[in-house]
Amino acid sequence: MKILLTGGAGYIGSHTLKQFLETDNEIVVLDNLSKGSQKSIDDLQKLREFNFVKMDLSDFEGVKRLFKEQKFEAVVHFAASIEVFESMQNPLKYYMNNTVNTANLVQTCLENGTNNFIFSSTAATYGEPKNPVVSETSELKPINPYGRSKLMSEELLRDASMANPSFKHCILRYFNVAGACNTYGIGQRYPKATLLTKVAAECAAGKREKLFIFGDDYDTRDGTCIRDYIHVDDISSAHLAALKYLKDNDSDVFNVGYGHGFSVKEVIEAMKKVSGVDFKVELAPRRAGDPSVLISNADKIRAKTSWRAKYDDLELICKSAYEWEKLC
C-alpha cells in the first residue's frame, strides 16, 4: 500500500514513520519542517529509503500535483499546530493550519480515490469533562481553539464519509504523548515544546534552568493537573492498528491512552528519580485552557483493534525522555 504521512518529520510522525518503515508499505512523507526535523528524516532513511517531500499543506496546488503523481491508497495525517496556550493567543493560525488544511487534504483524497484516512486528533476535544475519565461517547466540548480546530476536522471527516461511502476514516484521540525511541535517534526536537515530560527532561539534562508548575490549586490529589501520559511508541503503533482496522470495518473513532493518570508533581518526581537530578521547580499562575483532569477510557481500541500498549510505565517513559535529551 502506498501511504502519505503528513507531518512525518515531527515528534509523533517520525516515530510512526519508523514503525511503518518496518512494514512492506511504500511510504511518502510530506512536511514543511516548521517543527519537524530534517535530521529525523535523514536518520530514518538509514532504516529504509522513502520519498520525502518538503511542502506546506497550505500549498493546495502542490498537494494536488503530489496526489496525481503518487496515487496514494491511504493518508496518515499528523501535520498540525498543537500548542494549547498558543492557540489561545493566535486562534486563526490553528483554524487555518488544522481545520482548513485538513478540509483541503480530504477534498484532494476524494478527488483522487484515496479512501483510507487516519486522523491525528486529541483529548482536547473533550474539554473540561464532568467525568474525568472519558470514552469516545463522552460530550465533546473543547475549551480552547486547538481542541475546537481538531473537533471541526473530525466533523468534516464524518460528513465526508457520509457523503462518500467509499471514503473511510479513523480518528485517534491522543492523550498526553511522552517519551522517545532512542534506538533510531528520534525524539522531540522542537526547541519550544511545552509537553511536561519534555520540559522536565530538559531540566534534568541541564538544558533549562527550571520548570514551572502552572497552578497548584486544582481539585486533584496534590493540587496539580492530572493527565494520561502515553509513550510515543504506543501512540505510533495505534496508527498501524487503525489502518489495519479500516480494511474490514467502517469509519470509527478511538481514544489512545492508558486509562490512568499522573499529576504534574508526580511526573516531576519520577523524572528526578530516573535522572538523579534535583532540578529547580517554581510555582506559576494557571494557564488558560488547561482542564484539571483528563484520563482516557481506552477499552474500545483494545476491544476492536489489534492495538496493545507495551510501555505503560511512567518511569520508563521519563527515562526514555531523559536519555533522548542527553543524546540530542
Residues annotated as part of the active site: 146
Query: From CA 54, how far away is CA 51, in angstroms rounded?
Result: 10
Structure letter (DSSP) for residue 119 = E
**C-alpha cell read off for 122:** 486529541
Task: Look at residue 229 and give its three-state secondary structure.
Answer: strand
Query: From CA 25, how far away is CA 60, in angstroms rounded?
Result: 25
Query: From CA 99, how far away is CA 178, in angstroms rounded?
Result: 25
327: Cβ contacts below 8 Å, ≥ 6 apart: 182, 185, 187
Query: From CA 158, how far away is CA 220, in angstroms rounded?
Result: 35
Greatest extent of the chain over all pairs of C-alpha atoms, in Å? 56
CA dihedral (265, 281, 129, 79) positive or negative: negative
